[in-house]
Amino acid sequence: MNALKIKKGSSRKSAYDLRDPNADIVETHTLAVIVDNEPGVLARVIGLFSGRGYNIDSLTVAEVDHTGHQSRITIVTGGTPAVIEQIKAQLGRIVPVHRVHDLTVEGQSVERELALMKVAGAGEKRVEALRLADIFRANAVDSTLESFVFEITGTPEKIDAFADLMRPLGLVEIARTGVAALSRGAT
Amino acid sequence: MTRQMTGAKMVVQALKDQGVDTVFGYPGGAVLPIYDEIFQQNDIRHVLVRHEQGAVHAAEGYARSTGKPGVVLVTSGPGATNAVTGLTDALLDSIPIVVLTGQVPTFMIGTDGFQEADTVGITRPCTKHNWLVKDTNKLADTIHQAFHVATTGRPGPTLIDIPKDVQFAQGDYTTPQKARTEHYAPTVKGDIDAITQLADMIEKAERPVFYTGGGVINSGTAASQLLREMVEATNFPITSTLMGLGAYPASGKNWLGMLGMHGLYEANMAMHDCDLMINIGARFDDRITGRIDAFSPGSKKAHIDIDPSSINKVIHVDLPIVGDVGHVLEDLLRIWKSRGRKTNTEGLKNWWKQIEAWREVKCLTYKNSTQTIKPQYAVERLEAMTRSMDRYVTTEVGQHQMWAAQFMGFDEPGRWMTSGGLGTMGYGLPASVGVQMAHPDSLVVNVAGEASWLMNMQEMGTAVQFRLPIKQFILNNERLGMVRQWQELLHGERYSHSWSEALPDFVKLAEAFGCKGRVVKDPADLDDAIREMIEYDGPFILDVLVEKHENCFPMIPSGEPHNKMLLGEATTDDAIGASGAVLV
Ligand SMILES: Cc1ncc(C[n+]2csc(CCOP(=O)(O)OP(=O)(O)O)c2C)c(N)n1
Ligand SMILES: [Mg+2]
């Protein structure tokens, strides 16, 4: 009894494909999330991102107010404008979250990341690495006869650029902190 | 003056101070100190369930039928994991419940101790918030916070994990008045400019519709009252989601019936063709919207919701208003009245004419039979014989649930308890236990499918023990009917594992539990059987053997818009497009 006379063997395509193929462009936003520094709070934030399928490009967290026990979580994330709005609203729903700032839209902000890079080499390459480090204002915080560890601070793009230059010169390893960001101006 | 007491005593004291009269629970090693305190007092009734999932659904039933938070007490490990389905159910349906779990002593956490589970980790995504309390001095404060968070803003489940040593240790008791609750304060007042704009839209709309949801009921009885006033004063049509039934009375003349996948034709058509949609406390769930890009294409949409994340999550709206439904409706009514109570009467007249034409389709028509009991007929008779009574209805999940929603009418909020968001089979029986606990003298009926009912049937033991005269109205089609329907429509009639084999004899089962049962097969006997069920002084299982292959209509197939609704035997070739097959 097939009241609806539907053809047998329906295809596996999803109706979600019916959504506008010209979906909005993906934007990158930097969010500062002020939270109570209580156990599990970072797990709540990360769990939200993984559970709802959002991206985390970069994440930093540390207590910034020791007396008030508040931490600042800086998240760089990507999504369509609608998804970014959802991310902010969902973050705001987490009980220990006090405030969510979208530094990308709330006026100008400064962003910095710190990286340590180990570069090994000898001869010309070693000299060239030092010369470039000087141009990028990277400091050698450790050196042996065949290696340096550079410390560099800047925007993620600057760090990417420096890493690209170091790669042919003997880049061994990178450690990056992720982005810390603050809005500009007095408030 | 601070009061010193053990953590276990604190739990009971805090519950009393929160006005709790009933706890649904199940003991075990990690909560024995709390059970010891429960033993030594008489203010709080403890209902011993037969499975922790049952405790949570019972607490949900209690909460939804009283407007007060439901409370659950279970042990660590398996006690906590058994509660997970109920927590998720309460999260999706925004039901305020507070769950207390025992935990291994703090010094054993992380050692894989006996009955240790990472309860806060497991329940983090299925609670509104949860806490592990490691210091007895913070226990009472945390319990009060848990009640505050569960019941304010968009309600939901909270959980407190209490290690056994924290229950034994002494600490200072904090009263509810002193508890730290201030930092969680959701917005309740709506933006006045936006509300004024909505009043303006209401004045101009030619084809308006109120689309209401569970948020109206959660906002409290005042919100339902204001909604009624608003609907009567504007003469706008109103429809509701599964969760919102009863906020506006089904007997009201502006009532279109439920909307959505199995909603009424007139309700869905009104949603599709309206020029102003006023969403009050609903969330554009996919059971409601159908195909997103064809959802109500010509309307301006306003959305009132206390949860900012509900706004623009699925459907882009023109006018968002974040706030509590009751507060916003109060302001809206006041502003709209002060502007002269205007509506577009000419437009409305035509709109109602159109709606009347849709109503004429009589979308719930079904072919009755004198040979077999049609499930729709069974629900119709149940409705006819109980509508005027002081009645509460719970359901399981499946076709029977949709028939109950279509054929039963509710004139008050909090009378209809069903698992909407999660669609949890096994919800109805324990929920009916919770409702009956709260309303001992009312008629409580669980409209069930035989398959769902078996999932938590152990709770009949609870009903018998506590003399709860719950009525189990089982529409027995010997099928996982809703699954069978989808297989018929979408999977070439290949009925893969969708029938109920080796069913128990429900009458003997009732007797085995110590209550009464009856089986009914002949439509001519149905009324008598229902009468016996209602009049019997105790729990009753009525096994209604219904037509096995009935389909539930109307139906908006997955991936289709509202105006592509399927009606009963009115057949359409290729009714469900190939692309809908993947959706659930
Ligand atoms: C816990 C759970 N498992 C599986 C499902 C999927 N499911 C939805 S309805 C249904 C069939 C329910 O059968 P029954 O309770 O007899 O109700 P009927 O549809 O026959 O009225 C199933 C298996 C579910 N909703 N919940
Ligand atoms: Mg069935």
Structural domain spans, chain A: 27-102, 109-183
Of the listed ligands, the closest to the CA of B550 is: 1
CB atoms within 10 A of CB B93: 24
B contact residues 485-514, partner A, Cβ 8 Å cutoff: 488-493
pTM of this structure: 0.94
**Contact present, B475 and B400 (Cβ < 8 Å):** yes
Q: CATH top-level class for A27-102?
A: alpha beta
Task: Provide the 8-state DSSP code for B296.
Answer: S
Given an 8 Å threshold on Cβ–Cβ distance, is B124 in contact with A43?
yes
**Is B157 within 8 Å of chain A by CB?**
no
User: Rounded to an integer, what distance in angstroms lies between the CA atom of residue A170 and that of residue B351?
Assistant: 75
**Is B548 within 8 Å of chain A by CB?**
no
Q: Is the dihedral angle over the CA atoms B368, B373, B376, B381 positive or is it negative? A: positive
**Is A82 within 8 Å of chain B by CB?**
yes
Given an 8 Å threshold on Cβ–Cβ distance, is A47 in contact with B309?
no
User: Rounded to an integer, what distance in angstroms lies between the CA atom of residue B433 and that of residue B450?
Assistant: 18
- Identify all chain A residues contacting B125, using CB atoms and an 8 Å cutoff: 47, 51
For residue B105, cis peptide bond before it (omega within 30 degrees of 0): no
Q: Is B164 a catalytic residue?
A: yes
DSSP per-residue letters across A100-165: EEETTTSS-EEEEEEEEEEEE--HHHHHHHHHHHHHTT-EEEEEETTEEEEEEEE-HHHHHHHHHH
Strands (E), A45-85: 58-65, 70-79
| Ligand 1 pocket, mutate which of B242, B373, B407, B425 (most atoms under 8 A from CB) | B425
Domains of chain B with bracketed CATH: 3-178 (3.40.50.970), 192-359 (3.40.50.1220), 375-545 (3.40.50.970)
Q: Is B458 a catalytic residue?
A: no
pLDDT value, residue B563:
83
Which residues line ion ligand 2, judged by CB < 5 Å?
A: B 449-451, 477, 479, 481
- pLDDT tens string, chain B, 584 residues long: the values are 579 999 999 999 999 999 999 999 999 999 999 999 999 999 999 999 999 999 999 999 999 999 999 999 999 999 999 999 999 999 999 999 999 999 999 999 999 999 999 999 999 999 999 999 999 999 999 999 999 999 999 999 999 999 999 999 999 999 999 988 777 889 999 999 999 999 999 999 999 999 999 999 999 999 999 999 999 999 999 999 999 999 999 999 999 999 999 999 999 999 999 999 999 999 999 999 988 899 999 999 999 999 999 999 999 999 999 999 999 999 999 999 999 999 999 999 999 999 999 999 999 999 999 999 999 999 999 999 999 999 999 999 999 999 999 999 999 999 999 999 999 999 999 999 999 999 999 999 999 999 999 999 999 999 999 999 999 999 999 999 999 999 999 899 999 999 999 999 999 999 999 999 999 999 999 999 999 999 999 999 999 999 999 999 999 988 888 888 899 864 333 444 445 556 65
In this chain, the answer to whether the domains covering A27-102 and A109-183 adopt an identical fold is: yes
User: pLDDT (tens digit, 9 = 90+) per residue, A124-166?
Assistant: 999 999 999 999 999 999 999 999 999 999 999 999 999 999 9
C-beta B421 within 6 A of ligand 1: no
Q: Is the dihedral angle over the CA atoms B570, B400, B557, B270 positive or is it negative? A: positive
ipTM here = 0.90
C-beta B300 within 6 A of ligand 1: no
Instruction: Name the CATH topology of A109-183.
Output: Alpha-Beta Plaits (3.30.70)
